Amino acid sequence: MIKYIKMVPGLLLVILVAMVSKLLGARIQDVFEIETLTIAIILGILYNNTVGTQKVFHKGVLFSLKKLLKVGIVLLGFKLNVGAILELGPKVLLMVLIYVPLTLILFMKLSKKFGVNKKLATLLGVGSCICGASAVVALAPVIGADDDDAVVAVSIVSVIGAIGVIVYSGIAGLDRVSDMTYGIWSGLTLHGVAHAIAAALAKGEVAGDIGTFVKMARVLMLVPVSLMLSYAFNEKGETKKAQFPMYVLYFIIAGIINSLGVLPEVMTSFFAKSSSFLILMAMTAMGLSVNFKQVAKKGIKGFVMGIVLFIPLSIIAFVVVSQIT
């Protein structure tokens, strides 16, 4: 009971910033097209890198980012556009199967070129190609990485992913980019689940559904990648693997239930609205967790590596996706 009470200040801060983001979004929407999710991330980043997210807020912010995001994703399944998902075809899954290992291999092979130790480079790779900070935390013990490497990798991936959301959200306003192309691109290339969903939703619900689905396919790659890395970094004859991300399974089940039409519309509408606000809270918490100073102090080479590889991979992926959609 006490641990939940300790979350209250952080949850209240997240809710406050989220509500301010909604108000700002409504005020400036006619002047400048920017999504509430993007505003929430920016406000969170500004707060954390100026005032600083005080320790009393940490538990509630972390709970919003880790737990509420997963609940929001599961509820998002109840408003999946199944028709749009079915149009994706096997080509998109093939792209995921190519993009994930290719990105990871590039990070591992080019570590020396950037002056980054191999374990940090590997964590940056899994954070970039699977599911951001969650993949870093899940796979750090699998490869025997130090805590410092994990902290630096999480910070770098979070910062680059947040920058990506802001840039992608600007591209979302371009009419010549279709919902399908943009949704696949966001889900395929952005770092964390929160990053991909925030960016995908910037172009609307169809792009948001597609981006979420593609991102969930990438999250599933956590299992085979963990096995591969376990053998690659095996030092004592023991193999370790990351746990299966169950919230992905729940998300798929929710989508199936929604497609069957067995739930009343009032319930699915409630789930959809709840999902939107929970994801908004998670985006706010993500912004409140981004620390530019930590990246500058401990991982400038890793940051350079992450951004230098992310830009061409993103551009190439966009060109490929545009050709197949």
pLDDT values of the chain reduced to their tens digit, one per residue, 325 residues: 677 788 999 999 999 999 999 898 888 766 655 667 778 888 988 999 899 889 999 999 999 988 888 888 888 778 766 666 667 778 888 999 999 999 999 999 999 999 999 999 999 999 999 988 778 877 888 888 887 788 788 888 888 998 999 899 989 988 889 999 999 999 999 998 888 988 999 998 889 989 988 998 888 888 888 888 888 887 655 556 666 678 878 888 888 888 788 888 889 889 988 988 998 898 888 888 877 777 777 688 999 999 999 999 999 999 999 998 7
Q: How confident is the model at residue 298, as a pLDDT?
A: 66
- Residue 312, judged by CB atoms within 10 A of its CB (0-12, 13-18, 19+), counts as exposed
Where are the domains positioned within the chain?
2-324
Q: How confident is the model at residue 237, as a pLDDT?
A: 53
Q: For residue 287, which of 25, 65, 54, 9 has the smallest C-alpha distance?
A: 65
Question: What burial letters (b/e) apply to 63-91, b meaning 16+ CB within 10 Å?
Answer: bbbeebbbbbbbbbbbbbbeebbeebeee
Angle (CA) 254 255 261, round 5°: 95
Q: How confident is the model at residue 296, as a pLDDT?
A: 74
Q: What is the pTM of this model?
A: 0.75
